[in-house]
Amino acid sequence: MPAMRPSRPIGILGYGAYIPRYRLQASEVARVWHGGQDHVPIAQKAVAGPDEDAITMAVEAARNALARAGIAGERLQAVWVGSESHPYAVKPSSTIVAEALGAGPLALAADVEFACKAGSEALQMAVALVGSGMADCALAIGADTAQGRPADELEYTAGSGAAAFVVGLADEAVALLEGSVSYVSDTPDFFRRGQEHYPRHGGRFTGEPGYFAHVLAAGRELLSSLGRSPADYAYVVLHQPNPKFPARAAAELGFRPEQWQPGLLVDRIGNTYAASSLLGLTAVLDRAEPGERVFFVSFGSGAGSDALSLVVTEKLPLRRHQAPATASYIARQQLLDYATYARFRGKIAL
Amino acid sequence: MALQLPREWRWRQERYRLIGGRCRRCGQAFFPHREICPRCLGEDVAKEQFSGRGRVYSYATVYKAPVGFEEYVPYVVALVQLEEGALVAAQLTDVDPTEVQIGMPVECVLRRWRTNGPDGNIIYGYKFRPRLES
Amino acid sequence: MAGSADVFAIGVGQVPVGEHWELSIRDLAVEAGRRALADAGLARVGAVYVGNMLAPTVNGQQHLGALVASWLGQRQAEAVTVEAACGSGGAALRQGYLSIRSGAHEAVLVLGVEKMTDCVNGTTTAALAMAADAEYEAGLGLSFVAINALLMRRYMYEFGVPRQAFARFAVLAHANALGNPMAMFRKEVSVAEYMRAPFVADPIGLLDSSPMADGAAAVVLASGELARSLGRGQVRVAGSAVATDYLALHDRLDPLDLVAVRVSTARALGQAGLSITDVSFFEPHDAFTVMAVLCLEACGFAGRGEACALAARGHFDRGGALPICTMGGLKARGHPVGATGVYQAVEAVLQLRQEAGACQVQGAKVGLIQNVGGSGATAITHVLVRE
């Protein structure tokens, strides 16, 4: 099957990152729950402050994206927010975000849920809307304050962050979309029931049938349908629930470490779920040069992957300094002890 | 807690986007917007979305919180003087009380103010944090 | 108001300020009212003005005017509640003054009452924050203490005054309360204790703050003709003025300049034909030490930035040039918010009648009392003189 391509040339007009200030070191989790005797997957994860949630983080990432796009919020014709931690079960995050950005009222707005793929799914929706000619400007956001059950291995990595992308016409784009592939199947590797606070996961079942099956299939399909090889790309960004999975998947696709390392942030901020692969993409766009290509594959449990191929335009170097670099959010950090973390994230019943 | 949905909803644009006012006669900027200029009493005023950049004019650290704000204690409240000249009362966020000084550059962010209990609405609005380097 | 009646304070009554677990808001009001009527030697008044701030939220009771009047044996009297946040008592006094001055009544009862200890959680704190701007201060987490703390921090910064300099106001208030049997705190505090006390809203510590308390106080006002016929013409209310300002600090062009205080003081002294140098003692609204400082400076008793230095020299002590908080002030007598303005009036009458006991200011002839609502949004100033 050929890759999906827009009906007219489109791309990313602006991108924005947000990572909260607080960090919890994995060694602190291991100290509290495992007597310090556990293999920790990453160094630390980003933790939202007590007054933050997916909405507030989405707004800051989106404001950064609009700043880089050089447009006002009122030009947005769609605002889509992907998250598995929408603050309301019923009441869209997206209308709050749109109001804060000055978007609408004549606009589309909706919340998207697809585990860690919710943000890239929103991006695909924006691509479809603009690529079809139905609208000229759409915003896609991935934002999460992910929660792992205390003492569960997810608690090491379940982090907080947001990334936003303004999709529009090619002549104003900082990166052009060349094509995409989306790949889904019914795979119950990870889920959370409606009234539950914490998810359940399938342990090692999340690996081969989950992450690898979908990321590799979507990635291979996109390379093959575009007639490209990994050597055509300067960067590859994959969903990053831990450092091992994306490194192994990228290697299996034929990429080299220097292609994936710039976009691999999980060791310093954890798995930010719907923002995870998208934040990797912002980090790469912070450094990519005109003409360089970026290969992107997300993954969401349940399960599916979106693979996109982008090429950077000469506008990127002029726009990237209009908002804080992803690296500057990563550098801004305040370590928490486990007690403060538990308090911030509502894990202590009052 | 009582749901005051209309009352909280009414201010959404002003709270989400820091929209205040400016007097066309004397140039004074003020927050919130109002029909009569607080400086010259002129009535030719216009709404204005402020930059969100400013400096701490005064601050205090709250240790005994009113109902609804207990989960944030200790938190810092401040008067912020915006670049446009208006003063705004707000919470500071992402900051340790010991870091704050009068004159410190800050910028506006959207954060939760409070929630109306676990099943009530969430109220969002402006806060200020130490300015990030862009 | 040429030709209008002079106003005399002919009777006073008060209950001890404190935690009255067994007394309700009406019990407190009735007790203070009966004492004032007995002191005046009067059974009936034409009107009852009740100053109160918190009853609707803390006690679940509106309509205190009729409630208090009827339970005081004043059925059929005109009666209303007057509200101006922590200035409610002073505002009720102002209404009583206008009522006599206009000739509408020959005698009225002004009564301030507050029952703050009826709720056991943070409800009272949240209710007090209603003195501030609900949409732009209280609604986003600024407690009433925090608002005053913003003033104090800015004052320390602008005038280079260390926090410790404010301690003197707490120390003198507690020292003065020792001789007042109605005071909540009859014990001295030291500068060291002030510095050790925990913060409520840094830089405001526990000993910068007046305490929550229950209390009721009452004053009978009468026309000169009636006062003289009762042999109660010793204390005249020579000036009465109210001025207002924005509720929110950020709406004021200079938050440290309490414009309403400045203006109401000038108006009240002007009516009395007096100047600040004629004042024998001053009862400021020292809800927080910084409010005492800002009020002293706005009135003109101290230059801007100079009140703490004057205090350090003993200027405001009982034997100093201008005694303040002569019976403990809000800090040590206690601050049952809507009653406070009437307590100030009762204390001024006692001073001018030379009945203040161990608290007596020698030679007191002119007393200035000042009740403030919010962080300076309402300022009510009265001048009482000994005839």
Tell me how far apart the alpha carbons of residues A153 and A140 are, in angstroms, rounded to a whole number.
30
The number of residues in chain C equals 387
Interface predicted TM-score (ipTM) of this complex, two decimals? 0.97
Cβ(C85)–Cβ(C378) under 8 Å?
yes
Distance from CA of A325 to the nearest CA of B (A): 7
Q: What is the DSSP letter of C210?
A: P
Which of B91, B107, B124 to substitute to test the interface with A, most A CBs within 10 Å? B124
- For residue C138, the chain B residues in CB contact (below 8 A) are 66
- For residue B122, the chain A residues in CB contact (below 8 A) are 53, 55, 87-88
Is B77 close to C121, i.e. CB distance below 8 A? Answer: no
Is C202 close to B60, i.e. CB distance below 8 A? Answer: yes
Task: Tell me if C135 is assigned to some domain.
Answer: no
Cβ(C105)–Cβ(C78) under 8 Å?
yes
Predicted pLDDT at B3: 86
Q: Which amino acid is at A178?
A: E
Cβ(C50)–Cβ(C80) under 8 Å?
yes
Architecture, CATH, for domain B5-18+52-130: Beta Barrel (2.40)
Instruction: Return the HEC string of C83-117.
Output: CECECHHHHHHHHHHHHHHCCCCCEEEEEEEECHH
Instruction: Report the b/e string of B78-103 with b at 16+ CB within 10 A.
Output: bbbbbebebbbbbbbbbbebeebebe
Predicted pLDDT at C2: 40
Is C151 found in the same domain as C80? no
Tell me how far apart the alpha carbons of residues C244 and A263 are, in angstroms, rounded to a whole number.
59
pLDDT in tens, A169-206: 999 999 999 999 999 999 999 999 988 999 999 999 99
Tell me how far apart the alpha carbons of residues A137 and A98 are, in angstroms, rounded to a whole number.
13
Domains of chain A: 10-174+318-344 (3.40.47.10), 175-315 (3.40.47.10)
> Which of A131-140, A220-229, B5-14 is predicted least confidently?
B5-14
pLDDT along chain B (134 residues), means of 10: 87 96 97 96 97 98 92 97 98 97 98 94 98 78
Task: Tell me if C248 is assigned to some domain.
Answer: yes
- For residue B71, the chain A residues in CB contact (below 8 A) are 50, 343, 350
Predicted pLDDT at C1: 41
The residue-averaged pLDDT of A257-282 equals 98
Task: Tell me if C2 is assigned to some domain.
Answer: no
Is C49 found in the same domain as C146? no
Q: How far is CA C331 from the centre of its chain?
A: 11
Parent domain of C281? 142-209+237-386
Distance from CA of B91 to the nearest CA of A (A): 11
Is C293 found in the same domain as C195? yes
Is A137 a residue of the active site?
no
Which of C245, C250, C253 to substitute to test the interface with B, most B CBs within 10 Å? C250
Task: Tell me if C133 is assigned to some domain.
Answer: no
Tell me how far apart the alpha carbons of residues A279 and A267 are, in angstroms, rounded to a whole number.
13
C interface toward B at CB cutoff 8 Å?
121-123, 125-126, 129, 135-143, 145-147, 149-154, 157, 198-204, 246, 248-251, 253, 255
Output the six-digit token pair for C120. Answer: 């056991």
Is C107 found in the same domain as C189? no
Predicted pLDDT at C229: 95
Task: Tell me if C132 is assigned to some domain.
Answer: no
pLDDT in tens, A236-251: 999 999 999 999 999 9
Residues 6+ apart with CB under 8 A from C74: C44, C45, C48, C109
A interface toward B at CB cutoff 8 Å?
20-21, 49-53, 55-56, 59-60, 87-88, 96, 99-100, 102, 321-324, 328-329, 332, 334, 343, 350
Predicted pLDDT at C3: 47
The residue-averaged pLDDT of A332-337 equals 97
Which of C137, C145, C148, C153 to substitute to test the interface with B, most B CBs within 10 Å? C153
| Nearest residue to C384 (alpha-carbon basis) of C1, C9, C5, C2 | C9
The residue-averaged pLDDT of A293-317 equals 98
How many CB atoms lie under 10 A from the CB of residue A301? 25
Percentage of chain C beyond pLDDT 90 is 96
Is C281 found in the same domain as C253? yes
Is C181 found in the same domain as C76? no
Is C353 found in the same domain as C266? yes
Task: Tell me if C24 is assigned to some domain.
Answer: yes
Predicted pLDDT at B93: 98
Q: ∠ CA(C367), CA(C80), CA(C379), 5° rounding?
A: 35
CATH of the domain at C114: 3.40.47.10
Is C222 found in the same domain as C88? yes
- At residue C336, φ and ψ (nearest 5 deg) are -75, 95
Is the pLDDT at A99 greater than 80, yes or no?
yes
Task: Tell me if C342 is assigned to some domain.
Answer: yes
Q: Which residues pair with B123 in a beta bridge?
A: B114
Is A214 a residue of the active site?
no
Task: Tell me if C379 is assigned to some domain.
Answer: yes
Point out the residues of chain C with pLDDT beneath 70. 1-4
Is C183 found in the same domain as C36? no
Active-site position among A28, A52, A60, A116: A116
The residue-averaged pLDDT of A202-230 equals 96
The residue-averaged pLDDT of A299-318 equals 98
Is C70 found in the same domain as C219? yes
Cβ(A222)–Cβ(A189) under 8 Å?
no
Predicted pLDDT at A349: 81
Domains in chain B: boundaries = 5-18+52-130
The residue-averaged pLDDT of A76-88 equals 98
Is C251 found in the same domain as C310? yes
Distance from CA of B116 to the nearest CA of A (A): 13
- Domain tally for chain C? 2
| Nearest residue to B89 (alpha-carbon basis) of B113, B67, B72 | B113
> Which residue of B lies nearest to C141 if distances are taken between CA atoms?
B69
Tell me how far apart the alpha carbons of residues C277 and B101 are, in angstroms, rounded to a whole number.
39
